[in-house]
């Protein structure tokens, strides 16, 4: 966990996103923010609050429910030299944008041989809890990782949220910016001034020798909770935040996994053809005559997300499930272990403040 | 079989200057001859890209582009050689691109369906029908935001109007009064399916008007009428009055994709094409030009095409290392 430096203060994730937008809009008049409801009284859970007052309706505006065309408009504006930030209150809605994102945004730099670039940021939020259910909870980042030409970033804390969003806006490529609703009111020490968190650099959050745990988006926080539970059982997990998924800092993850001999990837998504599958595959492909690495993936249950809390609890990895899985990997053959129920419950009250 | 309304009246516009007529003729001639040469070369397999030829439809691109400024942006379709050439983009880059050569406008990575030339403000074309309509709207949004005098023109076919993104784009452009001209090239067929089997009614202009967008339908492909309507629409756009829409009825003489005729395929009758052959704009505009001038233009066009083909033939293919260039901007 980091300590506050100069000009740093505790800031929530949502305010970090808002501050990044405001600072970039002030710096660069080409930046504009649009999407359904970015300018209403709820301001995308507060992440766009005040922007319309500061920058006016030409640069902050709501849209018709036309995600397909609005994505095309953003791409065209980006090709014409603007730097749009297109906001979606749920990631599920990106499925309405797939043609534009996959066929145009991802490919334009290449198929038009560098004659145009698409400096577009697509902000989208993954939902969880309060019965968000089948179509308000999906983490679809792997779909975008599949296609060359898109960058994908999933910051897990307020510090990275601000630094990554500023970096994304300044990037000349389309960036899928993955936020998680449960992270919005977590806080971290964040510099007041503008700064960038470059893509392609993973962060080792907790050093450890027994097992490497990679947590994506909100699952990074759940993995840190699992880390606490494992420590009580004498197991030291090295928890890594990849931060950006494209580009992916596989070096840092592979180095750690080779050292610990065990890799558990916990994704905020399904495992099939997912980011967890990709990370595991790339690490294992690097093993050359060395000692094999024990690997395991965790993610959404291979079913549709239900609304009732009883079933929803089964659907997601949680700190106890992650800790148990890691324990079984580190101590195969040992009697099954369960973290203390009270400790598992308390894990949820533990505050983690990034950038870890 | 689709109903094809033909207006046989000839526009005799006495006001048009001879130099304008020559420019229009040259553009029509260049597109026609370039595509005839593409069709001629195609069976040799030197062209490494599927080609959707505009032969018979040239007047739409020529009539519209003739009234644009160089810095206005046009967004062509995958049947886009005509708009690309009418906007003044280079013939050499077109042929080299079709040949898959490094000197092509997209370095051999785009081919016929992804033509682009931002130096002449030809935005990139897409093989997915309708996809570029909102992108042209995005250019128009940027022009409005930057208080530019520039306008955008979106070309698309009748099939594209069936995509949801078409009406989404109309609505947004009208809502924000964006400087964009929507040009529907209605050639009555989406691949091989006629509009009578795709449209509940053929009242396309009426549909568009419900968004508060002024519309015009040019039923006979008359290039001078098209030009006149385009000029009026462009003037409104530059005054900030919001988008306009022109439906241009036209007819594809050859098959959907490839260099041949396809009247033996059974999905359309050859007699459908007859009135369009008779009102061929290349012939009728050519007839308005003095024969010595016409011959001189024809010779220039032949020379340019020969030069472009030679350029494509002698240009190198890209190096294998080019495979990974521009996956991301600046890489």
Top residue of B110, B329, B330, B331 to mutate, by most chain A CBs within 10 Å, is B329
Give CA–CA dist A260/A102, Å, rounded. 37
Whether B138 and A75 lie within 8 Å, measured CB to CB: yes
Q: Is the same domain home to A59 and A181?
A: yes
Is the interface score ipTM higher than 0.85?
yes
pLDDT tens-digit map of B115-154: 999 999 999 999 999 999 999 999 999 999 999 999 999 9
User: What is the distance in angstroms between the Cα of A316 and the nearest Cα belonging to chain B?
Assistant: 34
Span A83-87, mean pLDDT?
A: 98
Cβ atoms of residues B86 and B70 within 8 Å: no
Same domain, A245 and A287: yes
Q: pLDDT tier at A340 (50, 70, 90 boundaries)? A: confident
Q: pTM above the 0.90 mark?
A: yes
A3 within some domain? no
Q: B-chain residues within 8 Å CB-CB of A110?
A: 109, 326-327
Burial class, B198, CB count within 10 angstroms (exposed 0-12 / middle 13-18 / buried 19+) = middle
pLDDT at B1 over 50: no
**pLDDT for residue A34:** 98
Residues 6+ apart with CB under 8 A from B44: none
| Domain match, A105 and A241 both | no
Angle between helices A67-79 and B164-175 (to 10 degrees): 60
Instruction: Let me know whether A279 and A173 are in one domain.
Output: no
User: Residue A91 domain-assigned?
Assistant: yes
- For chain A, which residues lie within 8 Å of any Cβ of chain B, measuring from their own Cβ? 32, 58, 63-64, 66, 68-82, 99-100, 103-104, 108-119, 148-149, 151, 172-173
Do A137 and A257 share a structural domain? no
Q: What contacts B221, CB < 8 A, 6 or more positions away?
A: B57, B59, B60, B248, B249, B250, B251, B276, B279, B281
Architecture in CATH for domain B18-324: 3-Layer(aba) Sandwich (3.40)
pLDDT at B100 exceeding the cut of 60: yes
Does the pLDDT at position A128 exceed 70? yes
Answer yes or no: do A155 and A17 share one domain. Answer: yes
Tens of pLDDT, residue by residue over A17-74, are 999 999 999 999 999 999 999 999 999 999 999 999 999 999 999 999 999 999 999 9
Please tell me the distance from the alpha carbon of residue B45 to that of residue B288, in angstroms, as a whole number: 38
A173 located within any domain: yes
Structure confidence by residue, pLDDT tens digits, A256-306: 999 999 999 999 999 999 999 999 999 999 987 778 999 999 999 999 999
Looking at the DSSP bridge assignments, the partners of residue B193 are B190
Residue B244 has, within 13 A of its CA and on its CB side, a CA count of: 23
* CATH number for position A314: 3.40.50.920
Task: Look up residue B233 and give its DSSP letter.
Answer: H
Task: Select from B124, B142, B329 the Cβ nearest to the Cβ of A173.
Answer: B329
Tell me, yes or no, whether A272 and A167 share the same domain.
no
- In the numeric block, the tokens 């003729």 are attached to B25
Reply yes or no on whether the pLDDT at A6 is more than 70: no
Q: Which of B128, B120, B129, B23 is nearest to B74 (CA)?
A: B120
SS (H, E, C) chain A: CCCCCCCEEEEEHHHHHHHHHHHHHHHCCCEEEECCCCCCCCCHHHCCCCHHHHHCCCCEECCCCCHHHHHHHHHHHHHCCCEEEEEECCHHHHHHHHHHHHHHHCCHHHHCCCCCCCCCEEEEEECCCCCCCCCCCCCCHHHHHCCCCCEEECCCCHHHHHHHHHHHHHCCCCEEEEEEHHHCCCEEEEECCCCCCCCCCCEEEECCCCEEEEECCHHHHHHHHHHHHHHHCCCCEEEEECCEEECCCHHHHHHHHHHHCEEEEECCCCCCCCHHHHHHHHHHHCCCCCCCCEEEEECCCCCCCCCCHHHHHHHCCCHHHHHHHHHHHHCCCCCCCCCCHHHHHHHCCCCCCCCC
Residue A80 sits in a domain whose CATH number is: 3.40.50.970
Spatial contact of A90 and A136, defined as CB atoms under 8 Å apart: yes
**Span B10-26, pLDDT tens digits:** 344 457 999 999 999 99
Q: Specify whether A218 is located in the same domain as A187.
A: no
* Residue A280, CA distances (Å) to A140, A157, B108 in order: 18, 24, 36
Whether the Cβ atoms of residue A238 and residue A225 lie closer than 8 Å to each other: no
What token pair was written down for B68? Answer: 């644009």
As a 3-state breakdown, chain B gives helix, strand, coil percent values, each rounded to 5, of 45, 10, 45
Interface membership of B142 toward A (CB under 8 Å): yes
φ, ψ (nearest 5 deg) of residue B196:
-65, -25
Same domain, A234 and A339: yes
What CA–CA distance (Å, rounded) separates B122 from A212?
51
Q: Are strands B152-157 and B73-75 parallel, antiparallel or unpaired?
A: parallel
Q: Is residue A138 part of a domain?
A: yes
Q: At what angle do helices B291-314 and B91-98 cross, to 10 degrees?
A: 40
Q: Do A73 and B137 touch (CB under 8 A)?
A: yes
* pLDDT tens track for A212-245: 999 999 999 999 999 999 999 999 999 999 999 9
Residue A25, domain extent? 9-191
Q: What is the DSSP letter of B194?
A: E
- Length of chain A counted residue by residue: 356
**What local confidence, expressed as pLDDT, does residue B14 receive?**
53
Q: Where are the beta strands (DSSP E) in B122-218?
A: 152-157, 180-186, 189-190, 193-194, 215-218
Q: Looking at the predicted structure, is the pLDDT value of residue B4 above 80?
A: no
- Please identify, among A170, A191, A212, the residue that sits at the C-terminal boundary of a domain: A191
Is A136 designated active site?
A: yes
Distance of alpha carbon B240 from alpha carbon B232, whole angstroms: 13
Nearest-angstrom CA–CA distance, A355 and A163:
10
Separation of alpha carbons A72 and B135, rounded Å: 5
> Is A46 part of a structural domain of the chain?
yes
Mind spelling out the 3-state secondary structure of B72-136? Answer: CEEECCCCCHHHHHHCCCCHHHHHHHHCCCCCCCCCCCCCHHHCCEHHHCECCCCCCCCCCHHHH
Query: A interface mutation test: which of B89, B112, B136, B138 has the most A CBs within 10 A?
Result: B138
Q: Which residue of A has its CA nearest to B325?
A: A110
Domain match, A87 and A156 both: yes
Number of structural domains found in chain A: 2
Can you give the residue ranges of every domain in chain B? 18-324
Contact A69 B136 (CB under 8 A): no
Structure tokens at B98: 């079709």
* A180 within a domain of the structure (yes/no): yes
pLDDT at B3 over 50: no
Do A151 and A230 belong to one domain?
no
Query: B233 is written with which tokens?
Result: 């629409």
In this structure, the answer to whether residues A234 and A123 fall within a common structural domain is: no
Query: Does the residue A63 lie in any domain?
Result: yes
**Cβ–Cβ < 8 Å for B211, B245:** no
Mean pLDDT of B198-226: 97
B188 touches chain A (CB under 8 A): no
């Amino acid at each position: 966990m980091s300590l506050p430096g100069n000009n740093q203060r505790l800031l929530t994730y949502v305010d970090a996103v808002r501050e990044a937008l405001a600072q970039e809009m002030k710096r660069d008049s080409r930046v504009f923010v649009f999407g359904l409801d970015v300018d209403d009284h709820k301001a995308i859970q507060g992440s766009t609050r005040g922007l319309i007052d500061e920058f006016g309706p030409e640069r902050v505006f709501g849209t018709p429910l036309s995600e397909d065309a609005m994505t095309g408009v953003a791409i065209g504006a980006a090709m014409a030299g603007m730097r749009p930030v297109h906001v979606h209150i749920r990631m599920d809605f990106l499925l309405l944008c797939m043609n534009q994102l996959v066929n145009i945004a991802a490919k334009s730099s290449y198929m038009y041989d560098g004659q145009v670039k698409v400096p577009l940021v697509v902000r989208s939020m993954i939902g969880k809890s309060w019965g968000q259910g089948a179509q308000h909870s999906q983490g679809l980042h792997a779909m975008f990782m599949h296609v060359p030409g898109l960058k994908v970033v999933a910051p897990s804390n307020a510090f990275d949220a601000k630094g990554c969003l500023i970096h994304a806006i300044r990037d000349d490529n389309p960036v899928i910016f993955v936020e998680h609703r449960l992270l919005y009111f977590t806080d971290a020490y964040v510099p007041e001034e503008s700064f960038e968190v470059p893509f392609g650099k993973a962060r080792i959050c907790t050093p450890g020798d027994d097992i490497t745990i990679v947590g994506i988006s909100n699952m990074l926080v759940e993995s840190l909770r699992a880390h606490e539970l494992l420590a009580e059982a004498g197991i030291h997990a090295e928890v890594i935040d990849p931060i950006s998924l494209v580009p992916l800092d596989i070096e840092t993850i592979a180095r750690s996994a080779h050292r610990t001999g065990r890799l558990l990837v916990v994704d905020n998504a399904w495992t099939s053809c997912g980011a967890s599958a990709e990370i595991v595959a790339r690490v294992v492909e690097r093993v050359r005559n060395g000692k094999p690495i024990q690997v395991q993936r965790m993610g959404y249950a291979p079913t549709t997300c239900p609304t009732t809390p009883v079933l929803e609890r089964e659907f997601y990895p949680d700190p106890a499930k992650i800790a148990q899985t890691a324990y079984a990997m580190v101590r195969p053959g040992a009697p099954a272990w369960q973290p203390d129920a009270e400790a598992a419950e308390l894990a949820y009250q533990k505050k983690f403040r990034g950038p870890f | 079989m689709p109903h094809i309304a033909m207006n046989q009246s000839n526009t005799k516009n006495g006001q048009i200057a001879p130099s304008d007529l020559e420019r229009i003729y040259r553009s029509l001639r260049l597109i026609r001859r370039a595509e005839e040469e593409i069709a001629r070369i195609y069976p040799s397999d030197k062209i490494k890209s599927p080609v959707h030829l505009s032969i018979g439809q040239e007047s739409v691109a020529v009539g519209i582009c003739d009234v644009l400024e160089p810095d206005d942006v046009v967004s062509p379709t995958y049947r886009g050689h005509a708009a690309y050439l009418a906007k003044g983009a280079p013939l050499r880059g077109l042929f080299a691109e079709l040949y898959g050569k490094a000197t092509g406008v997209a370095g051999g990575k785009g081919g016929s369906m992804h033509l682009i030339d931002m130096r002449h403000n030809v935005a990139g074309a897409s093989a997915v029908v309708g996809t570029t309509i909102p992108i042209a709207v995005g250019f128009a949004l940027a022009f409005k935001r930057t208080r530019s005098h520039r306008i955008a023109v979106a070309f698309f076919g009748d099939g594209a109007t069936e995509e949801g993104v078409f009406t989404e784009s109309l609505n947004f452009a009208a809502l924000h009064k964006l400087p964009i001209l929507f040009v529907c090239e209605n050639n009555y067929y989406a691949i091989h399916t006629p509009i009578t089997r795709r449209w509940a009614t053929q009242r396309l202009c009426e549909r568009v008007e419900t968004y508060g967008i002024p519309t015009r339908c040019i039923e006979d492909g008359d290039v001078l009428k098209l030009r006149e309507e385009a000029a009026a629409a462009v003037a409104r756009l530059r005054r900030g009055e919001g988008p306009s829409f022109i439906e241009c009825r036209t007819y594809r003489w050859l098959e959907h994709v490839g260099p041949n005729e396809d009247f033996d395929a059974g999905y359309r009758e050859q007699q459908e094409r007859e009135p369009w052959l008779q009102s061929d704009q290349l012939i009728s505009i050519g007839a308005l030009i003095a024969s010595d001038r016409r011959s001189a233009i024809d010779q220039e066009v032949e020379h340019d095409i020969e030069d472009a083909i030679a350029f494509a033939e002698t240009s190198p293919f890209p190096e294998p290392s080019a495979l990974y260039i521009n996956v991301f901007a600046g890489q």
